[in-house]
Amino acid sequence: MNDHQLLRYSRQIMLDDFDYGGQQKLVDAKVLVVGLGGLGCPVALYLAGAGVGELWLADFDKVDLSNLQRQIAHTMSDIDRPKVISVSEAVAAINPDTVSQCIGEKLTGQFLLDAVKRVDVVVDCCDNLQTRLEINRACVELKTPLVSGAAIRSEGQVIVFDSREATCPCYQCLYKDVAAIEDLSCANSGVLSPLVGVIGSVQAIEAIKLLSGFGKSVAGQLQIYDAKTSEWRKLLLPKSPACPVCG
């Protein structure tokens, strides 16, 4: 790191268990953020601010007026523009040292695998169950840590899946009966504006911990936040021996 970067990241570097080494790991890191909506916006902005060297930003959607209630990287002037462009510009405005790689098409199949191969951590911020399941399969296959988040109405959840650990579950272990799951979205269920900021911020923290070695990962622990009561619950998720993905 140069003198400019040492000053920029000085407040993190002064943390005893983070130090210069942890910051250098962030500068050298590559992260894939899938979905640049309510969760992906704070994730991308905080990872850039913290000094992650390269962000792969994936979203095939355009900014809509209804997004602006919660998707804080987009502004009125971004309406009808691709979200990947809007967020990459917001990232550059915060930290020009962070390189953005924009993926403006749907990630699936070999294209998804190729993207996951290029990064150190994947942060799932999408709102589509089938996409989440496919991201999970790719991360398990390539043994890439996955930080998954979701928010709907007034409740959100965060969980880390680290397939490098033999006993760690995967996303499919959490949702065994996929056919019975109702695929909810903000468009049909609503969501409290700051809730996505809370969940996205926790996702960014967990990604930073995985990349830098700072703190302790909550891999395999489902963290659920209720905005109505401001309470967190933590549930230990066991690995399923019958899981078709990681079992």
Residues taking part in catalysis: 186
Find where tokens 């700072």 sit. 214
CA of 139: how far to CAs of 41, 75, 113, in Å? 22, 32, 8
The single-letter DSSP state of residue 165 is: S
Q: Is 172 exposed, middle or buried (0-12, 13-18, 19+ CB in 10 A)?
A: buried
Please check whether residue 130 is in contact with residue 42, taking contact to mean a CB–CB distance below 8 angstroms. Answer: no
Question: Could you give the 3-state DSSP secondary structure of residue 86?
Answer: helix
Q: Supply 160's token pair.
A: 């880390």
* Axis crossing angle, helix 193-212 with helix 19-27, rounded to the nearest 10: 110
Q: What is the largest CA-CA distance in the chain?
A: 54
* CA dist., res. 197 & res. 71, Å (int): 9
Neighbours of 221 (CB within 10 A): 14
Q: What share of the chain is helix, strand, coil (3-state, %, to 5)?
A: 40, 20, 40
